[in-house]
């Protein structure tokens, strides 16, 4: 207490006690691949804020183009604002080996990254590396590229693996080597932290000017970032145009997507009037999983990290009713803002979420263990994936009423 020694008016600043929780960013991407100048800043996670900055650092005097360069261009062209680029040597895996810190391992230390991709890596080992990385971190999503040339819908719905060529059963004719039979699946395994997009895009290369096929992950990451900025992370990043795409390597039909969509394969479609659009927003989770919708998974990633960062002050505080009240107040205020942004269902905050932190969630044995337990329930908004209009013939009653 201050000491007042003489009569007068004293004005003091008193803390209100609230500690606002801020939403963390959701649109920073991390790309792993080989740059046009494959010696530039190799095995470093380099922050890049524009296409011109990428050209200055990773292109230099090189006239070559790579899937990584086209992906970074597509990211910025579609609304991305910041990414980290890891330049690995040609032929290197996307994850580091042994003590070597390369590829995805370098992105583990960057908390800012929320989207991860390895443009053009479409083999089963790369898929596993990307999914395992995101599952380990728990705060980011992987965008996996489908194979460049495939119209085999059945194989896209089956999980693939590492296959070895089968031995030849007949002698080669005229010295030609026998073709290896490969009927393995092409889809990555189930995961709550991964997405899978087909087909590849046809774009004009920003470095050479040639029209080429390119993996979609960089452009898709840019669409995610653009949707986050304009609408919020709760909005499914689908039914959105893909800037820079002039065609598709394969045009998926509605009949084919009827098979692919339930398997978690997100299709990029061409429509006569609307052009090329992302026409899927599912994760690789099981079809009955609560995490099958991409925007729900990313919303919860944001909520988890935001609440974790915004309540770090709790650690080592006295574990009593005053602390529980503070937790309920701060978390409820944050979720109310999220609800007002349209990310949660319900006509009121009470219908959209609940926050419970009291003696019931923190009995004596929990407090003795040094723990504070808070139960949070949230009702996320799910996408209107299937819009249904039921049309029937009228007997003319509406016209009779109008004329009455």
DSSP states of 190-247: PBTTEEEEESPEEEE-TTT--EEEE-SHHHHHHHHHHHHHHT-TTS-S-SEE-TTEEE
Residue 303's nearest CA partner among 380, 358, 242, 236 is: 380
Cα gap 27→222, rounded to integer Å? 8
pLDDT for residue 179 is more than 80: no
pLDDT band with cut points at 50, 70 and 90 for residue 395: confident
pLDDT for residue 315 is more than 60: yes
Tally Cβ neighbours within 10 Å of residue 101.
14
| Cis amide bond preceding 199, omega within 30 | yes
Lowest-confidence region among 32-41, 168-177, 194-203, 257-266: 168-177
Numbered ranges of CATH 3.40.50.11780 in the chain: 29-163+187-296
Return the structure tokens found at 126.
């790369």
**DSSP designation for 56:** I
Q: What percent of the chain has pLDDT over 90?
A: 76
Cα gap 375→160, rounded to integer Å? 39
pLDDT for residue 352 is more than 90: yes
CA–CA distances in Å: residue 204 to residues 64, 74, 269: 14, 10, 18
Q: At which residue do the structure tokens 């990773």 appear?
A: 58
Q: What percent of the chain has pLDDT over 70?
A: 89
Cα gap 113→142, rounded to integer Å? 11
pLDDT for residue 97 is more than 80: no
Average pLDDT rounded to a whole number, residues 27-36? 97
Lowest-confidence region among 14-28, 168-182, 240-254: 168-182
Average pLDDT rounded to a whole number, residues 196-213? 97
Q: Return the CATH number of 29-163+187-296, one of 3.90.180.10, 3.40.50.720, 3.30.450.370, 3.40.50.11780.
A: 3.40.50.11780
pLDDT for residue 117 is more than 70: yes
Lowest-confidence region among 43-47, 162-166, 222-226: 162-166
């Amino acid at each position: 207490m201050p000491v007042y020694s003489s009569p007068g008016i004293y004005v003091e600043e008193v803390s209100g006690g609230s500690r606002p929780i801020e939403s963390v960013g959701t649109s920073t991407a991390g790309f792993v691949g080989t740059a046009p100048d494959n010696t530039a800043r190799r095995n470093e996670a380099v922050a890049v804020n524009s296409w011109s900055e990428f050209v200055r650092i990773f292109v230099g005097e090189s006239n070559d183009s790579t899937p990584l360069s086209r992906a970074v261009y597509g990211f910025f062209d579609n609304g991305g604002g910041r990414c980290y680029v890891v330049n690995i040597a040609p032929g290197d895996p996307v994850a580091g080996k042994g003590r070597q810190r390369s590829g995805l391992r370098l992105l583990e230390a960057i908390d800012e990254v929320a989207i991860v991709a390895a443009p053009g890596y479409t083999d089963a080992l790369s898929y596993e590396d990307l999914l395992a990385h995101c599952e380990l971190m728990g705060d980011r999503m992987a965008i996996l590229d489908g194979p460049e040339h495939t119209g085999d819908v059945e194989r896209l719905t089956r999980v693939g693996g590492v296959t070895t060529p089968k031995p030849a059963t007949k002698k080669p004719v005229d010295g030609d080597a026998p073709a290896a039979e490969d009927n393995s699946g092409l889809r990555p395994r189930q995961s709550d932290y991964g997405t899978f997009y087909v087909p590849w895009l046809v774009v004009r290369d920003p470095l050479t000017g040639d029209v080429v096929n390119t993996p979609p992950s960089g452009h898709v990451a840019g669409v995610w970032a653009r949707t986050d900025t304009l609408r919020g992370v709760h909005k499914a990043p689908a039914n959105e145009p893909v800037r820079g795409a002039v065609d598709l390597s394969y045009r998926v039909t509605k009949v084919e997507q009827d098979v692919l969509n339930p398997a978690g394969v997100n299709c990029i479609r061409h429509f006569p009037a609307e052009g090329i659009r992302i026409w899927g927003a599912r994760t690789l989770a099981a079809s009955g999983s609560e995490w099958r919708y991409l925007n729900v998974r990313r919303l919860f990633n944001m909520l988890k990290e935001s609440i974790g960062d915004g309540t770090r002050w709790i650690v080592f505080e006295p574990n009593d009713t005053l602390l529980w009240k503070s937790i309920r107040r701060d978390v409820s205020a944050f979720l109310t803002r999220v609800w007002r942004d349209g990310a949660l269902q319900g006509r009121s905050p009470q219908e959209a979420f609940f926050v419970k932190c009291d003696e019931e969630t923190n009995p004596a044995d929990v407090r003795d263990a040094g723990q504070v337990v808070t139960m949070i329930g949230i009702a996320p908004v799910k996408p209107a994936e299937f819009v249904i209009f039921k049309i029937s013939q009228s007997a003319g009653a509406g016209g009779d009423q109008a004329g009455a």
